[in-house]
A and B are shown apart, each in its own frame.
Chain A
Amino acid sequence: QSALTQPASVSGSPGQSITISCTGTSSDVGGYNYVSWYQQHPGKAPKLMIYDVSNRPSGVSNRFSGSKSGNTASLTISGLQAEDEADYYCSSYTSSSTPYVVFGGGTKLTVL
Chain B
Amino acid sequence: QLQLQESGPGLVKPSETLSLTCTVSGGSISSSSYYWGWIRQPPGKGLEWIGSIYYSGSTYYNPSLKSRVTISVDTSKNQFSLKLSSVTAADTAVYYCARRSLVLTGEGLDYWGQGTLVTVSS
Contacts and interface: CB of A to CB of B under 8 A. Distances in A.
Interface of A: 1, 3, 34, 36, 38, 45-48, 50-52, 55, 57-58, 89, 91, 93, 97-106
A5 B47 CA distance: 13
Contacts of B114: 45
Contacts of A58: 104
14 contacts: A34-B106, A45-B113, A45-B115, A48-B109, A51-B108, A55-B106, A57-B104, A58-B104, A91-B107, A98-B60, A99-B60, A103-B39, A105-B46, A106-B47
A20 B93 CA distance: 26
B110 A48 contact: yes
Given A1-B64, A45-B96, A100-B63, A51 B106 contact: yes
Given A45-B113, A103-B46, A106-B46, A97 B107 contact: no
A56 B122 CA distance: 44
Interface string B54-69: 0000001111101000
A103 B115 CA distance: 17
B105 A57 contact: yes
B46 A91 contact: no
B93 to A, nearest CB: 13
Given A34-B106, A38-B109, A98-B63, 17 more contacts: A1-B62, A3-B46, A45-B112, A46-B112, A48-B105, A48-B110, A51-B105, A51-B108, A55-B105, A89-B47, A93-B107, A98-B60, A98-B66, A100-B51, A100-B60, A101-B62, A103-B48
A107 B113 CA distance: 22
A45 B114 CA distance: 6
